Amino acid sequence: MKIIKYVLPAYWASYLINNDDSGMVGDDKVRSDKFLNDNKLPFPVSCSDESFFSGHNDAGTLAGDCLEYTFLIN
């Protein structure tokens, strides 16, 4: 297994970690699914406990609070 980490929006956590998209607004779910599909990623296995502000992230969304998400790849 290979461990890959990405910095992604913190507001994606509920959907990516718990598969709960009820808090997603607009096209947030579409963007997160596109990021996963474009990078051939499964859902992450975990994310950092503390969010941090970042001017950019790996998904290319607007600046904001982010988390580091951990993915396991075969």
Rounded mean pLDDT for each run of 10 residues along the chain, 74 residues in total: 97 96 92 96 97 96 96 94
Residue 46: count of CB within 10 angstroms of its CB: 14
Share of the chain above pLDDT 90, in %: 93
**Number of neighbours of residue 6 by Cβ within 10 angstroms:** 19
Whether 70 contacts 5, CB under 8 Å:
yes
CA distance 53 to 21: 22
Calpha distance 29→15 (Å, rounded) = 8
| pLDDT value for 12 | 96
- Of the chain, the percentage scoring pLDDT greater than 70 comes to 100
